[in-house]
Amino acid sequence: MQEINLQGSKVLVTGSARGLGESFARALVTAGAQVVISDVLHERGQALAIELGAQAHYVPLDLLDPESIQQGVQAAVKAMGGMTGLINNAAITNSGGKMMEDLALETWGRVMDVNVRGTWLVTKASRPFLASSGRGRVVNLASDTALWGAPRLLAYTASKGAVIAMTRSLAREMGSDNITVNAIAPGLTLVEATEYVPQDRHDHYLNGRAIKRPQVPDDVNAAALFLLTKNSGFITGQVLPVNGGFVMN
């Protein structure tokens, strides 16, 4: 990944004890930012913060618990001495492989509570601190499944479509505070969470891409980090597919 300078940035990343979130945390530290790793996987999150050194901190944060979100954001701000950026990365799938008729009501509710309500509540709690920085940046993790309509992923796909719509509304609401809000819509990326995905789905993505190789975390890191820089200050309310050309806007 090409070098990006984020010296002086202070970024909270939700769901960052593993997967893409972990990759974001590593890339942010490499770019010179302070980062708060937040998750419900406490041992992994703490171990990652220790590994990454003085620029990294761990804060427990459960997107299903509004009080945990409020406390987690406040603890993140205290640990970093402020906040300039937020990556709303945490999400669950839960409905993988099931058709609409087989999807449990409880599963639908849990996916929406984590992926949609959680993103809203973390952003809401973070807004005052992002505003006071004078250059706040919010990057929401959507998914290209919401752009092409992946089957057997109904709850997840719908939740990521909601994240895209919410990104645009938040961009208009928060622009007066000089906060940008954008979304990244990655394709299927080789991380721990996608190991369960059947090989035919991997092949479907690979065959449909303009760039014929697997997608790796650094492909997504580069986009996320750019949207956190000062240079992205006039880009807001946008959805950037990062998927090798599988979906083209």
- Strand, helix or coil at 183? strand
Residue range 207-219, pLDDT digits in tens: 889 999 888 999 9
pLDDT above 60 for 1 = no
Which domains are present in the chain? 10-241 (3.40.50.720)
Bridge partner list, 39: 60
State yes or no: is 58 an active-site residue: no
Type and span of the H or E element at 73? helix 66-80
Residue from 58, 156, 196, 205 carrying the catalytic annotation: 156
- Strand, helix or coil at 238? coil
Residue range 44-94, pLDDT digits in tens: 999 999 999 999 999 999 999 999 999 999 999 999 999 999 999 999 987
Q: How far, rounded to the nearest angstrom, does the alpha carbon of residue 232 sit from its chain's CA centroid?
A: 17
Confidence of residue 95 (pLDDT cuts 50, 70, 90): low
Question: Within a 10 A sphere around the Cβ of 150, how many other Cβ atoms?
Answer: 18
Q: What is the average pLDDT across 161-178?
A: 98
Termini Cα distance of the chain: 24
CB 4 within 8 A of CB 226: yes
Residue of 187 and 123 predicted with greater confidence:
123
pLDDT at 232: 97
Bridge partner list, 182: 139
pLDDT at 2: 56
Burial of 235 (0-12, 13-18, 19+ CB in 10 A): middle
CA 83/CA 140 separation, integer angstroms: 16
- Strand, helix or coil at 110? helix
